[in-house]
Structure 1
Amino acid sequence: MTIELWRLAGAGSLALILAGCSGPTDTEAAENGTEDGIVRPDTNPYPSTYAPADSGVVFITNAHIYDGIGGEIVNGSVLVEAGRIAAIGDNLEAPANAEIIDADGRFVTPGVIDIHSHLGVYPSPGVNAHSDGNEATQPVTAEVWAEHSVWPHDPGFDAALAGGVTTLHILPGSANLFGGRGVTLRNVSARTVQGMKFPDAPYTLKMACGENPSRVYGNRGRSPATDMGNMAGYRDSWIRASHYRDDWNEYWDSAEAGEDASPPTQDLELDTLMGVLEGDILVQMHCYRGDQMAQVIDMSEEFGYQVTTFHHAVEAYKISDLLAENDICAAVWADWGGFKMEAYDSIRENLAFTHAAGACAMIHSDSDLGIQRLNQEIAKALADGRAAGLDISEAEAWAWLSSNPAKALGIAEETGSLEVGKRADLVMWSGNPYSTYTRADAVWIDGVMSFDRFDENLQPVRDFMIGQPGEGEE
């Protein structure tokens, strides 16, 4: 195997590439489609091949720690063994075989998780050939998968890593009612998207309400052209998916009873929608207005599925009680608003108000530039909430870009907080992470240092960027 795709000096970075080329484990292997002669659609035909490199034993000490779930340790330590958090506290001793890293009072946090990114499907440079995120050929394209458009060479991944991003969720665009499946990635260098896929992370389904689908198709003289058309389009698809699920269940019941039965014809679009109805695929829905989100909640009750997260959700503050009651998260910007009518009634306190009402709330980027400074975005949201009279601590607010997005992506048992047993995804910051002047000094993914601001050997650079203007300049 020839490694020529990236200039990544240093054993740690090379180990990450090689880890991304390893084969799937037994638990990640796809089902074979039949079991005892019974046909079952393969739910994981493109499994993750990512396996972390050996982290060794790492002991980070003298750190000001935010654990991602509201806890703060002013002078604490984190012990990493085999890529996992082995211990965290303020009175730990380093094992004899540990690599000791003195944080010297710097802040250490969980890695940043961006729940709404289009890196890879709208990579840099932004040219027409790279516009790969919207299959805007018909309003329902649940059959497409974002991972099949991800370009793993996108230099935006490296810029995000320098901003502390360890995990990111790549979504299709929002032109369609059902835009397709999203995929959760580790922010590691790999030759293939499978080498970046977060092992065993649930698939997601991107849906969109409001102006985007009605504008895209209304301008073509097609349905949907209105909010009415949007809702009718969703419901029609859920009805077809319900029948499809019934057909499969009827076949499985008959086959398991030993009866002669033929399986339904497999339909990729309906496979995805059936996965949502079965609770295996998580709905991530682009929606701005409170009234539209409330209607979508009603529709989810009609068809018996769960909305996991409303994205953008500039009016989440208006329905925060409904979000909390229905265990639905809101992924929002700190201060984007007013750029179209459905974003008109945005307020800067949206994130803080939604959080204070008891709902799961978080920041997201939806931007190749914003993803590089999500710590600053939550700083703005926190400041606006405090100015409005809310008592939210800095430690509590860190959940907005770590444990809450991990929950919304179905990976909270693995990452998003610094707790014993979880993946050692950490960032050491140059100063208070809420400061405009602070930078990520070091980033660990699965306990392996993946970025070091002071060591060029641990600053990944794609071959695509070598020789580009600005590369290598001081």
Structure 2
Amino acid sequence: MKRLMMVPLLLAAALPAFAQDLLIRDATVHTAAAAGTLKNHDVLVQGGVVRAIGPGLAAPAGVPVVEARGRPLTPGLFGGLTGLGIEEVSGEAATVDAGLALGAMVPAHEGSSWRPEFDVDVAFNPHSAAIGVNRIEGITFTVLSPSALPGGSFVAGQGSAMLLDGRYDAALAGSRSLFIDLGGDASQLSGGSRAGQWMLLEQAVAEARAGNGDLLTRAGRATLARYLAGGRVVFQVDRAADIRQVLAFARKNGMRPVIAGGAEAWRVAAEIKAADAVVLVDALANLPGSFDSLASDLDTAARLHAAGVKVGFSKRGDATHNARKQRQLAGNAVAHGLPWEAALAGLTAVPAEAFGVNDRGRIAVGQAADLVLWSGDPLEVSTYAEQVWFKGVATRMRSRQTELRDRYLAPEGPLPRAYPAR
């Protein structure tokens, strides 16, 4: 236990608080790029950017050195589609800003509750306790995912990729996406039928092209029109038949589709590859949770990869507070046939590319130095992150959970443990 607690502190102590320059020496560098895995290599970071990768690099004067001693170094990991920063306590409505449910609040003369212009980015709180808990386990960026709620629309709204380094201006340029939930779970928002979803989507597209109509507001029409000009749209969809409809709809309307969920995606892998779409799977989904996922299987990621589909990972259900379990998804996919390097790419390079975050997700010269040094294989649940860097700056490896742990493991003093030491 002492080693687990002391190593991160020693690493942090070796680095100036705001350093953007460092040399990480003798690491097993998992680049998540064409170079693959490089054993006994050094990574030189200057100005927050990777400047050189190679064996035996010299540290420039004044640049601190971290001795990796062969331990794995990876890019910062993708947290999946989450509510990190827009959901604090899922059971407390006042702390959840992910969904819009105008419902009866919308007067008849103002049209429907469809609001594709709804953008959750503006509610982002970089100091959410949930962010800290996941950040110290290697999660450096996420994509905010709006939720489709009763009283709202299955066109849930917009969200962007967010850097989790504590800044307020955390949205990463070029990553904004529109989110649409489809299938059986969303049928209650489309008149009780998934066929109604396609009818309403076609109407919305027609209104966006014409610039008038009753389903969308003027701002909603303008928003949707932007996605009809090559915009990125995330479709939450599982059933193979629905995925085929998604691909056809996206192709017809000039959208770049990302498929989230994709429980039955392996059945239409050839069509997905032809569309150059990315699939974000939950590799722990091995049983049908609904009639939309009857063909769900633990080897879905491996089958998609074998067919040439780009595969990433996103946890479903409790994704926000357990984004750190992304590593478990990837490791589970490896156990069921996905190559290890492809699994790491599914946590790094694949989602970064899918959401236009082109300067992250890989360890390569010119890339931002968002890095994680691990105690062992990063896809093993027993492994932990020893240090996380954002653009070469070492993050404080503390969270609400570690603070509570330390408070209640400490010997009792004159005051109850609930009172912090002064």
TM-score exceeds 0.5:
yes
| 2:109 counterpart of 1:109 | no
Which one of the candidate residues 37, 40, 46 is aligned to 1:72?
37
Matched-pair contact (CA < 8 Å) for 1:83–1:446: yes
In structure 1, the partner of 2:25 is: 61
Preserved CA contact (<8 Å) 1:442 1:449: yes
Equivalent position of 1:129 in the other structure = 94
1:167 aligns to what? Answer: 141
Provide the residue aligned with 1:278 in structure 2. Answer: 229
Gaps of 5+ in 1: 1-8, 17-52, 218-222, 246-264, 387-391, 453-458
Select the residue among 60, 85, 98 that pairs with 1:120. Answer: 85
Match for residue 419 of structure 2? none
Superposed CA offset, 1:114-147 (max 9, x none)? 2311222222363122232121335632021011
Equivalent-residue separation in structure 1 for 2:170 and 2:366 (angstroms): 21
Alpha carbons of structure 1 residues 179 and 238: separation in structure 2 relative to 1, 3 Å: same
> Aligned equivalents of 2:207 and 2:49: distance in 1?
43
* Alignment partner, residue 349 of structure 2: 403
AA in 2 matched with 1:439:
Y
Find the counterpart in structure 2 of residue 212 from structure 1: 185
Match of residue 152 from structure 1: 126
Q: Distance in 2 between matches of 1:335 and 1:297?
A: 25
Q: CA deviation at 1:214?
A: 1.0
Q: Is the 8 A contact 1:124 1:154 kept in 2?
A: no
Q: Residues of 1 paired with 2:283 and 2:383: CA distance?
A: 18
Which deviations, in whole Å up to 9, do the C-alpha atoms of 1:10-49 show, x marking residues without a partner?
xx99xx9xxxxxxxxxxxxxxxxxxxxxxxxxxxxxxxxx
What CA distance in whole angstroms lies between the structure 2 residues aligned with 1:119 and 1:287? 22
Structural mapping, 1:203-352, within 5 Å: 203-215=176-188, 217=189, 223-244=190-211, 267-279=218-230, 281-307=231-257, 309-336=258-285, 337-352=287-302
Residue 187 of structure 1, aligned match among 151, 164, 178: 164
Q: Does 1:82 align with 2:47?
A: yes
CA shift digits 1:96-122 (9 cap, x unpaired)? 231100001110001101231122222
Return closer, same or farther for 1:125/1:242 CA change in 2, 3 Å cut-off.
Answer: closer
Kept in 2: contact 1:444–1:451 (CA 8 A): no
Instruction: Please say if residues 85 and 420 of structure 1, whose CA atoms lie closer than 8 Å, have aligned partners that are also in contact.
Output: yes
State the distance in 2 between where 1:131 and 1:396 align: 34
Matched position secondary structure for 1:319: helix
SS, match of residue 242 in structure 2? helix
C-alpha separation in 2, matches of 1:471 and 1:170: 31
Q: Deviations over 1:396-416 (max 9, x none)?
A: 32101000000111112x100
Query: For residues 207 and 241 of structure 2, what CA distance do their matches in structure 1 show?
Result: 26
Mapped contact 1:177–1:234 kept (Cα < 8 A): no
* Aligned match for 2:374, one of 429, 454, 458: 429
The sequence identity of aligned pairs, in percent, is: 24
Secondary structure in structure 2 of the residue aligned to 1:473: helix
Give how far 1:61 is off: 0.7
Q: CA deviation at 1:442?
A: 0.4
Give the aligned CA root-mean-square deviation in angstroms: 2.6
Aligned residues, how many?
378
Q: Counterpart of 1:472 in 2: which secondary structure?
A: helix
Normalized against structure 2, the TM-score is what?
0.83
Report the CA distance between 1:202 and its aligned residue: 2.8
| Counterpart selection for 1:357 from 304, 307, 320 | 307
Distance 1:146 1:344 in 2: 32
1:59–1:79 CA contact under 8 A, matched in 2: yes
Which residue of structure 1 aligns with residue 3 of structure 2? none
Q: Counterpart of 1:473?
A: 408
